[in-house]
Structure 1
């Protein structure tokens, strides 16, 4: 009997080790050969396990194709993900017992040029009637970027513990940043002498100078705003720099009303056409 009990204890220890190896993802660089060998021994000792293995491979392939589709659709790529589960249920089980499970998630990825790391906890509470799950903690880290508008939004998403809003707004924010960059680059290439991008195409503002009228300069400030609810939209403003002598001759207040007129032009023509009209009105020889 002592020999049998010792054998049982050895088997129980091996089973516990295998469970831990399956449930916990190995850290980068960790040797996984032992885990793979142990799993292979299990399948060899239980031939019916190979059927389940084929089903798992088929299911894994389906999930990978869905993940690829979502990455293409949202431009969000998840590179690493891990999860740890902790059972908080009381050991004294009764008819009115409530099952509580705490899960700690960690993932990292990127959305175009913006990389992020997200850590969050979910608490699942289950009773006989229903199952509920809430995010109890959320921490988001983004790599330093030239997009200053992003930091305030990330802080707000953490405070609200709204992970879905973070990903949805991040996707829209990146789309607008890419559009702004392409637009600035287009006008710089089309009007190289008139358009100034002192901080490159990724800047949030663009300068326009008249080649034939020194001292006249317009600055387009293009910010990307994120509302409290996560809605993303562009906000463009016009700043003017005009010599004092020209201001004294401006009896109709054209320079003073230029920012308001520019907003009206945006509403009528749209962003690209409004910028095109503004550049041509200031820089073409016939208008000069």
Structure 2
């Protein structure tokens, strides 16, 4: 095999790897990146966006997996480690659940930006007792926490809060 044939085989392998990577992307993200690259006739932007999109997806996967291992009783990943959402159940208050939705957004310049949102699932009785509006303010407060602490520290803070022991169990613990 000469050098030219070897180069062709390497390129074919790279094209196949790219096809596999594109198949794993959510349809809207892949379409957005492709359309922007076509509009601007900028193949470099497409590959840069694809690269960072995959990097963010891998980071999300590692982060969710880490918290699933650290808090197995509280964390549920409905679509496995590659899930775009993580469900967090309170270990001390049945019915309290938070859902972290982590998506990637590709802007006009091809930059990939993570977008994390918090959804709450709280028993009706708790909502009735929530006179301060803490449940309604939770998504906004979570975004502020993300800005102050970063993704991992914000998620860890949330999980520690929901996985805290009940007050009676803490006061009964030896000092």
TM-score band (shorter)? 0.7 to 0.9
Check the 8 A contact 2:100/2:118 in 1, yes or no: yes
1:152 aligned to 2:84? no
In 2: Cα distance, 1:284 partner to 1:150 partner: 40
- Where does structure 1 differ by over 6 angstroms across 4 or more consecutive aligned residues? none
Check the 8 A contact 1:195/1:209 in 2, yes or no: yes
Q: Secondary structure at the match of 2:98?
A: strand
Task: Compare relative contact order (CA 8 Å, sep 6+) and give the higher one, 1 or 2.
Answer: 2
RMSD (Å), alpha carbons = 2.5
- After TM superposition, the structure 1 = structure 2 runs for residues 63-142 of structure 1, keeping only pairs within 5 Å, are 79-80=11-12, 108-110=15-17, 115-116=18-19
- After TM superposition, the structure 1 = structure 2 runs for residues 191-270 of structure 1, keeping only pairs within 5 Å, are 191-270=71-150
Looking at secondary structure, tell me which structure has more helix per residue. Answer: 2
In 1: Cα distance, 2:86 partner to 2:25 partner: 15
Count of equivalent residues: 163
What TM-score does the superposition give when structure 2 sets the normalisation length? 0.83
The gaps in structure 2 that reach 5 residues or longer are 169-175
Check the 8 A contact 2:33/2:50 in 1, yes or no: no
Q: 1:146 to 1:286 in 2, by over 3 A?
A: farther
Which entry has the higher C-alpha Rg, 1 or 2?
1
**Cα deviations across residues 188-232 of structure 1 (Å, max 9, x unaligned)?**
001011001010111111000012221111000101111011111
1:172 maps to what in 2?
A: 52
Looking at secondary structure, tell me which structure has more strand per residue. Answer: 1
In 2: Cα distance, 1:191 partner to 1:287 partner: 19
The gaps in structure 1 that reach 5 residues or longer are 1-31, 37-56, 65-77, 82-106, 118-141
In 2: Cα distance, 1:252 partner to 1:164 partner: 50
**Cα deviations across residues 50-89 of structure 1 (Å, max 9, x unaligned)?**
xxxxxxx8xx9xxx8xxxxxxxxxxxxx6329xxxxxxxx
Check the 8 A contact 1:281/1:287 in 2, yes or no: no
